[in-house]
Structure 1
Amino acid sequence: MNYCIIMPQLVRDADASYMFPIGMAYVSSALKATGRHVLTYNLNYKQGSTQELIGQLLREHNIDVLASGGLTGQYPELREIFEAAKLAKPDVITWVGGGIITASPVPAMEALEYADYGMVGEGEITICELAEAMEGKRELSSVDGLIYRDGEDGKWTLTRPRKEIEDLDVLPFPDYEGFEYDQCLAKANFEFNSEHGGLVSFSRSCPFHCTFCFHPSGTKYRKRSLESILQEVDFLIEHYHIKSLFISDELFSLRKAELGQFCDAMRARGLIYTISLRVDMVSREMLERLKESGCQLVCFGLESADNTILKSMNKHITVEQINQALRMCLELGLPVQGNFIFGDEAETVETYRNTLKWWRAHPEYNIKLGAIFVYPGSILYQNACRRGLITDEVAFIRQGCPQLNVSKLSDDEYRQMLLEISTAVHRGRDPLKDGQITYSEAGLANAKGRCPHCGHENIWINREIFRSVTAMTCVSCNRIIDTYLPDYIDTGLFLQQFQKIRGHKAALWGMISSVEALYQAVPDAWKEDFFLVDSAPQKQGLELHGKVIQSPDVIARENVGLVIITFTSSVSATIYRTIMENYPSVKKILFLGDFLDPNLDL
């Protein structure tokens, strides 16, 4: 049989970066290791529609089985893949795996509609046994971790749960080549400040049970041996010439002896790297060793600056521990990154304002703000179903897991909180010397300036200009520079370019911090006539600097011909697709940064 594994489209723009879905690459390498004929295909950076690309694949390679997978948030892309496959070849067999199935098997399969078989839990062994069943070598019912329709009534059948893989060292390395990892590496992942940075998984799952989290790889925390990890790192250095490393684990955890060996290995290889830690597990000695060995960034799961909320979330940390850990990193010159997420079940006006007050008082830390999303599989999701806040689990997935107010806030208070946190702006603490901004392409810009720490002149390529704080790495001293790029734009040129929207019915889509950064940098731009649009119903109807935020329906109602997307992250691909498919009046789509282009023509 001919098998094909498809990586969903995570970005639409040819220059955007994305987090390589390493779980799919593991599953692919496991199936290939059996000697079967397996075609792999990465939809990212491809020209043409998903339907055209998949139809061509199925015809040219006579595919019998098409597989894909991902998280619940990738539902639209996954459904598009399976629908395209069935339209092109109705008898093709379709498999789906990943967090979307593991979190909520029956509702997910119902929502996906065109998937025949779902793999629940870790997929490396399941996919190989499922292939044996397709080839008539074993019974479907003997394959653990499956969901499929069975019998005349077509009811969903779930086989026994798949046991978690205890020894992760037995797994082959991820199928990097099969999914064009070199192309992914060629796009700098600015989220983690790494250019040509590889991604490696050291462990699976997490020993903690935060209410907002779901662990697709199981409930038991398991770690690879350091020997296996370093073999993979050396493979990436040899084959992909990586210069930095992002450790993708939910929790970086090594014994004291292993930590020393790891640090020595990173120093010997000359790699800079990023890790994720808990604030209650760090010491000054540990952080010193990490920094000396090339650690350039520590990501902390902070979530809140209010102890009532931290307790409600099952975080098992305190604000005092957050302060201590972040202060140690600051004193050692070790940059940090973290998130505060708002809307926990215990959230009140007082608690969310406590966190915002802390955030505003600490611009020295690169802490991002966001709202809690209630994803299938999490404790919050289970509670929301029990409370009747989610009454149709299938519809909830199809709607993209919309934001829910599960907190103690009234709906009006919740709406105001969402707008406040999504548009909040922090100014960077590291001003560039002789900073300049020039337009690059696709809404991105190049930044030039001398490092405020060592004075070395850097050029940073393809940066999102209106992000409130952009973290950039100096190529000389490897220090991360937290700077505010809107400070360096030619505001006169930008306003002149922005005035070109006159005579066009235009809309700005996405009420996030970049919109506030635009307002602060070029307030006169706000005088132009354009609509504010946001997909989140909770923001619609609220005002931002005198303009009312509206639903995307205004585009059709007002015959809008120009839409300006306010950010260039992977989420923008979904907005771009929505516009193309649903709003024929739109003749041109731009990114906010495109107005830095002196040759912009509307």
Structure 2
Amino acid sequence: MKKILLINPPESGIGGRTSPPLGLLYLAAMFPEKDYALEIYDGVILGWEKLLQKINDYKPAIVGITCFTPSRAQVIKLVKIIKERDKSIYIVVGGIHPTIMGEQLLANCPAIDFLVCGEGEYTFKNLCNTLLSGQLDNLPNIDGIAYRHDKNIIFNKKRLPTKNLDLIPFPRWDLINIDDYSKILFPVKKIKINTSGGKIFYVIFSRGCVGQCSFCSVWSFWGGYYHRRPENMMAELQYLYNTYNARNIIFGDDCFTADKEAIAKLCDLIIKNNLKIIFKCSTRTDLLDEELIAKLKKAGCYEIAFGVESGDASILKSLDKKNTLDNTAKTFALLKKYGILSTAMMIIGNIGENYKTINNTIRFLKKIKPDVVASDRGLQILPGTKSYYYCKNKGYMTDDFWLSDKPYKLFDFEFSPNLLEVFEFAVKKQIYLTPWEYFNYIYIFSLRFILRKWRGLMIKIGS
């Protein structure tokens, strides 16, 4: 039986942490064990050396690799190594980066044979069946793939998303060791709930998002928002609870409570079935009300993360957040009332940022008092976003950037990296910036920047 190997590339985790490769687990679920030989290899956990040994020993006919924009350099490195070792292996790359930048990827990386663009489950299965059967004449009939033919790059018809997510089988958790992830996921903090012996599992209730924020590529990939039936989600939770002792759940949805009625029903099912779990999720502050927050708490929700981004109304407007600071303040107050932890995810250094907007952000954070402030220094520019098209139209960057090995571009075109450090420092320390302090900190951080460069140069000379 010919073999399929699904790979999460090495060095694609963030800050030493990673989560289970849920997309690959969903892909694997499309291939019944009795009919296919398939394994998953997570390079983030096991590294390059073991991965290359695995490829040599397993001898797959098809390798499928997931590719996010920040890890595209690792993917390109990996596919080149695989092709150098065995040219007969079909290499298929899927995910958000090949979906948005597919033509550039195929034009510049001949080691890639096929791209899966958009939702992957049915597309990848159809492609594998075609390749394994040798019926290559069927390639033009597979929606959602891209490939080369006679030196031309071919994009087949787009595959429409599966709106009925209940049709997609539950992820194949049996193909990975969940303990590998429980050790490195973010720990549960500040809650008096005993989770000893329980394992952490990622699940998703929905795909896509109802928002279209200017910096986010989710809409470009999914093209909308759709979710499972609460009963189907409950069945998966029950399965994980009984089979794997799952007690700590992380909902990986981009916008968990977009359909408040559906989430309320899911909470009712968790409560009715006496499922003793705790969970965290992410959503928008304008998609919660007190009744739903009370149900979430009763069902086991201990933390909710929100993309607050900024405490300045003009910045929120430029980000197309389509939300208000009042909504956010009310929601954070309700979370405190019901004892649910809050995380405010912030972007420090947005388009149009200055010391006044930073002061407004500091003032707002002091008002809402989140339990956790998770901040990014600088706006991350990613392909397929309005922010990227803004930068292209301004002449700040071109598509050639995505051929570099840098994970993403920080928006530092209208202010220096030193200024981004000042902004981040002020927000973290919650220090208001007066005009005098503003220029004083720029001077201090500029000196630090020069010293770092000088030390780096001395180290190079010394070696």
* Bucket of the pairwise TM-score, normalised by the shorter protein: 0.7 to 0.9
Report the RMSD for the aligned CA atoms in angstroms.
Answer: 3.1
Taking structure 1 as reference, are residues 26 and 305 closer, same or farther at Cα in structure 2, changes over 3 Å only? same
Q: Which residue of structure 1 lines up, in the alignment, with residue 238 of structure 2?
A: 234
State the TM-score, normalized to the length of structure 2.
0.85
What pairs up with 1:201-350 in 2 under 5 angstroms? 201-215=204-218, 217-253=221-257, 258-267=262-271, 268-350=274-356
Contact 1:188 1:196 in 2 (8 A): no
State the match for 2:433 in structure 1. none
Number of residue-to-residue matches in the alignment: 439
Offset at residue 248 of structure 1 (A): 0.7
Partner of 1:24: 24
* SS in structure 1 at match of 2:314: helix
1:151-177 Cα offsets, whole Å, 9 max, x none, are 1xx232211111111211111111222
Q: 1:74 aligns with which of 71, 75, 81?
A: 71
For 1:549 and 1:359, the matched residues in 2 are separated by: 31
User: Is residue 69–residue 100 contact of structure 1 (8 Å, CA) maintained in 2?
Assistant: no
Q: Offset at 1:364? A: 4.8
Question: Retained in 2: the 8 A contact 1:58–1:89?
Answer: no
Letter in 1 for 2:24: M
| Structure 1 residue 100: Cα displacement | 1.4
Which amino acid in the other structure matches residue 269 of structure 1? L
2:119 matched to 1:122?
A: yes
**How far apart, CA to CA, are the structure 2 residues paired with 1:261 and 1:557?**
61
* 1:188 CA displacement: 4.3
Equivalent-residue separation in structure 2 for 1:555 and 1:102 (angstroms): 43
8 A contact 1:26–1:172 mirrored in 2: yes
Q: Look up the equivalent residue of 2:6 and give its one-letter code.
A: I
Match of 1:85 in 2: 82
CA shift at 1:322, angstroms? 1.4
Distance 1:112 1:192, change over 3 A: farther
CA distance in 2, matches of 1:227, 1:373: 37
Q: Does the CA-based 8 Å contact 1:4-1:41 persist in structure 2?
A: yes
SS at match of 1:411: coil
Counterpart for residue 164 of structure 1 = 161
Deviation (angstroms), 1:411: 2.6
- How far the C-alpha of 1:103 sits from its partner, in A, is 2.1
Contact conserved, 1:98 with 1:120, CA < 8 A, in 2? yes
The one-letter amino acid of 2:167's match is V
CA distance in 2, matches of 1:22, 1:16: 18
Q: Is the 8 Å Cα contact of residues 260 and 287 (structure 2) preserved in structure 1?
A: no
Compare 322-331 and 29-38 and name the one that shifted more. Answer: 29-38
Matched to 1:40, the amino acid is I
**Does the CA contact (< 8 Å) of 2:76 and 2:109 recur in 1?**
yes
Partner Cα separation in structure 1 for residue 13 and residue 324 of structure 2: 40
Q: CA deviation at 1:308?
A: 0.7
Matched, 1:196 2:199: yes
1:38 is matched with 38
> Which residue identity does 1:178 align to in structure 2?
L
Distance 2:388 2:54 in 1: 37
Q: Deviations over 1:62-104 (max 9, x none)?
A: 2222111131111232223212212222332211001111122
Seen in structure 2, the aligned counterparts of structure 1 residues 324 and 127 have a Cα distance that, compared at 3 Å, is same
TM-superposition CA deviations, 1:502-523 (whole Å, max 9, x none): xxxxxxxxxxxxxxxxxxxxxx
Q: 1:45 to 1:550 in 2, by over 3 A?
A: same
Question: What is the alpha-carbon distance in structure 1 between the residues aligned to residue 115 and residue 145 of structure 2?
Answer: 6
Normalising by structure 1, report the TM-score.
0.67
Structure 2 distance, partners of 1:128, 1:27, is 8
Distance in 2 separating the partners of 1:156 and 1:540: 51
Specify whether residues 84 and 238 from structure 1 end up closer, same or farther in structure 2 by C-alpha distance, changes over 3 A only. Answer: farther
CA distance in 1, matches of 2:109, 2:177: 26
The answer to whether the Cα contact below 8 Å between 1:111 and 1:397 also exists between their aligned partners in 2 is no
Q: Which residue of 2 aligns with 1:448?
A: none
Q: Could you say if the C-alpha distance between residues 255 and 86 of structure 1 is closer, same or farther in structure 2, counting changes exceeding 3 Å?
A: closer
Q: How many angstroms does 1:2 deviate by?
A: 2.2
* Aligned residue in 1 for 2:447: 543
Match of 2:386 in 1: 379
1:4 is matched with which residue? 5
Q: Which moved more, 1:164-173 or 1:102-111?
A: 102-111
Following superposition, the deviation at residue 111 of structure 1 comes to: 5.2
What is the DSSP-based 3-state SS (H/G/I as helix, E as strand, rest coil) of the residue aligned with 1:161? Answer: coil
Other-structure match for 2:424: 421
**Which one has the bigger helix percentage?**
2
1:421 Cα offset (Å): 0.6
- Asked if residue 398 in structure 1 is aligned to residue 405 in structure 2, the reply is yes
| Alpha-carbon spacing, 1:540–1:402, altered in 2? closer, same or farther (3 Å) | farther
Q: 2:134 aligns with which of 136, 139, 148?
A: 136
> Structure 2 stretches of 5 or more lacking a match?
431-441
1:464 corresponds to which residue? none
Shift of 1:319: 1.3
Q: C-alpha displacement at 1:256, in angstroms?
A: 5.6
Task: Specify the code of the residue in structure 1 equivalent to 2:142.
Answer: V
Distance of 1:256 and 1:214 partners within structure 2: 23
Q: Is the 8 A contact 1:540 1:551 kept in 2?
A: no
> Structure 1 93/161 Cα, relative in aligned 2: closer, same or farther at 3 Å?
same
Separation (CA, whole Å) in 1 of partners of 2:391 and 2:380: 11
Please identify, of 284-293 and 303-312, the stretch whose mean Cα deviation from structure 2 is larger.
284-293
- For the structure 1 residues 223 and 302, does the alpha-carbon distance in structure 2 shift closer, same or farther, using more than 3 Å as the test? same
Give how far 1:246 is off: 0.9
C-alpha deviations, 1:93-132, integer Å up to 9, x for none? 2110011111221223345553221111011011111113
For 1:174 and 1:323, locate their aligned partners in 2 and report how far apart those are by CA, in whole Å. Answer: 37
Report the Cα offset of residue 237 of structure 1.
1.3
Deviations 1:335-358 (A, max 9, x none): 101211133333333223321343
| Structure 1 residue 359 corresponds to structure 2 residue 365 | yes
Following TM superposition, by how much is the alpha carbon of 1:33 offset from its aligned partner in structure 2, in angstroms?
6.4
What is the aligned partner in structure 1 of residue 438 from structure 2? none
What letter corresponds to residue 332 of structure 2 in structure 1? L
Distance, in Å, in 1 between the alignment partners of 2:28 and 2:175 is: 8
Q: 1:287 to 1:101 in 2, by over 3 A?
A: same
SS of the residue corresponding to residue 207 of structure 1 reads: coil
Find the aligned partners of 2:369 and 2:8 in 1 and give their Cα distance: 38
| Match for residue 389 of structure 1 among 385, 389, 396 | 396
Cα deviation per residue 1:168-227 (whole Å; 9 max; x = unaligned)? 111111122213334223444338888732111001001221100011651121100111
Q: Do the aligned residues in 2 keep the contact of 1:541 with 1:548 (CA within 8 Å)?
A: no
* 1:325-376 Cα shifts (integer Å, max 9, x gaps): 1122123322101211133333333223321343356555422221210011
Q: Is the 8 A contact 2:229 2:262 kept in 1?
A: no
- C-alpha distance after superposition, 1:134-157 (max 9, x if no partner): 233352111111121221xx2322
Q: Is the 8 A contact 1:3 1:66 kept in 2?
A: yes
Closer, same or farther: CA 260–387 of 1 in aligned 2, 3 Å: closer
Instruction: Name the counterpart of 2:145.
Output: 146
